Structure 1
């Protein structure tokens, strides 16, 4: 006898996985309640659904799996061996869903929720600790997940959903971001203490055109600002070293490897002299960025308001 071909289209493995997840997910809680009570009516009463709805859901679940999960005697049921195996995994899945729900509710708690906050390396030693300390004076239980990185990496993480807010420089201009300028920070030309310019207090950047520079790597905001300022001063800097951290550069300046444009240090470092740049105007803007259209949890909204209230007073004197 010839075999009849099924009229149902065959699913690819990936399509089958997506389809079976859609089938199973809404029914796991129903299944778990029936298995726990071993009685359809009592399970339906607990779940607040009609008994007929629950019975049909269990029949469809077994049909979709192609396995009998229950042995039935009226409205009383008992699990088959396959049903017990399925129950173990269903309970584990439901527990993970409950755990995830508890986690997101905890993160959104107005008094003890979580803020994922990114900031520049150069703001980690003094500025960010001072901000968090001041914010937690009124919000002592709010938790912070902190990410320290360079600007472009933080913006990527912001777009991927890994950050709620970030402090960055330069302040980005992108249609998917909301940004607010908070403050600006003067940059100084840092030279070794035995350098020909070390006796000066002020300098035009063009006077350093023949110097070798140590800079941050391409992609860092401060590197872009350095390149732009040098271009404005009429030269392209000769770069001896590209690093990832401003204080490393300051140490290399002290060692005589070159000069650098850097923000003020948290603590004065021996071996270097820091000169005020009079022309061009050497500053970097510091701003806060977040994704446009993304709703804030209460703790994120509170911290955002706090940051915006610090406009012009973000950085330590």
Structure 2
């Protein structure tokens, strides 16, 4: 058996379906199936069964799963030792990130990293904080950029920055002409485009509950770019982080600051610990932290704290 087969098995076990697992690994579905079949042939037993609801682990698959994770961890540790000897970080690094960070910050960082470390192959995936954390814990991701607080107490978290949330409205919206400071309570009856589970959405739901109103939701999405474009098209308003609003003048929406809102998000880089990171993953981690720290304030009052590693979350 080999690393690719073990990674294929772990990804299918995590996703529960072959199609998203294949996409996440950059394989065709038939290529993924061949990896799984080769692994099962090597082990002489079925690990997965396809059902209408997806791929389900057999009893043998459940028993093999923790061993596959430990085997990949051991391979990663061995690879890291060899990389130290060669002095050249190389190989794949899986980085998970929030949609907004993937779209609005990493394009300023990853190309420079790729030029500096041409033998390292970053693999980027986007998602919500909870799913990203889970994938780091399972070993599917080496690193992840998530919103604090971190739920898993066995992850190491390094805070990168914090930023306030602002109100994104269609260009020329009536709220841009209001001269007095606006609170979230003043805009709860607007029509909204939201990403469920985002800090801004939770704050909106809490404010609506306090005022006894039901939020008018025009659209729920899990994609930040879709949310922004829907606002631009006039579908509704949205609470977005300053990172996403920094170049709004060149786009089709306006920004309305919320006075004394207290709405903010804290962004951190998480991993399972230095011992689990390859040399390539350590270089990417350090490069992201240093790049964020060296940037001028690109999103207004955002406060970054990337100077020193954060404590293990307890």
- Residues 1-317 of structure 1 correspond to what in structure 2 (within 5 A)? 105=79, 109=83, 110-200=88-178, 203-216=182-195, 218=196, 220=197, 222=198, 224-228=199-203, 231=206, 234-235=210-211, 237-263=215-241, 264-265=244-245, 267-268=247-248, 270-292=251-273, 294-310=275-291, 312-313=293-294, 317=298
CA distance in 1, matches of 2:274, 2:90: 24
Deviation of 1:118 after TM superposition, in Å, equals: 0.9
Whole-Å separation in 1 of the counterparts to 2:264 and 2:294: 15
CA distance in 2, matches of 1:314, 1:178: 23
Q: Give distance in 1, aligned partners of 2:296 and 2:123.
A: 21
- CA shift, 1:288, in A, is 0.6
Q: 1:313 to 1:237 in 2, by over 3 A?
A: farther
Q: Which residue of 1 aligns with 2:7?
A: none
Q: 1:203 to 1:241 in 2, by over 3 A?
A: same
Shift of 1:164: 0.4
TM-score (norm 1): 0.58
The Cα of 1:232 is off from its aligned counterpart by 5.6
1: CA distance, partners of 2:229 / 2:265: 21
Summarize deviations over 1:131-181 as a string: whole Å, max 9, x none: 223334542322112112222221222122111000112341421211111
Q: Larger radius of gyration, structure 1 or 2? A: 1
Of the structure 1 ranges 188-197 and 114-123, higher mean CA displacement relative to structure 2 is found in: 188-197
Matched with 1:71 is none
Q: Distance in 1 between matches of 2:150 and 2:280?
A: 24
TM-score of the superposition, structure 2-length normalised?
A: 0.58
**Matched-pair contact (CA < 8 Å) for 2:231–2:253:** yes
- TM superposition shift of 1:227: 1.6
**Root-mean-square deviation (CA), in Å?**
3.5
Q: Offset at 1:117?
A: 0.8
Corresponding residue for residue 89 of structure 1: none
Name the residue aligned to 1:70.
none
* Alpha-carbon distance in structure 1 between the residues aligned to 2:95 and 2:152: 19
Q: Distance in 2 between matches of 1:311 and 1:128?
A: 10
Task: Show structure 1 runs of 5+ residues with no match.
Answer: 1-17, 23-100
Q: Is the partner of 2:262 in helix, strand or coil?
A: coil
**What secondary structure sits across from 1:143 in the alignment?**
strand
Q: Is the 8 A contact 1:178 1:292 kept in 2?
A: yes
* More relative contact order, 1 or 2 (CA 8 Å, 6+ apart): 2
2:123 counterpart SS class: strand
C-alpha spacing 1:316/1:126, structure 2 compared with 1 (3 Å): farther
Asked if the contact 1:171/1:288 (under 8 Å) is kept, the reply is no
SS at match of 2:103: coil
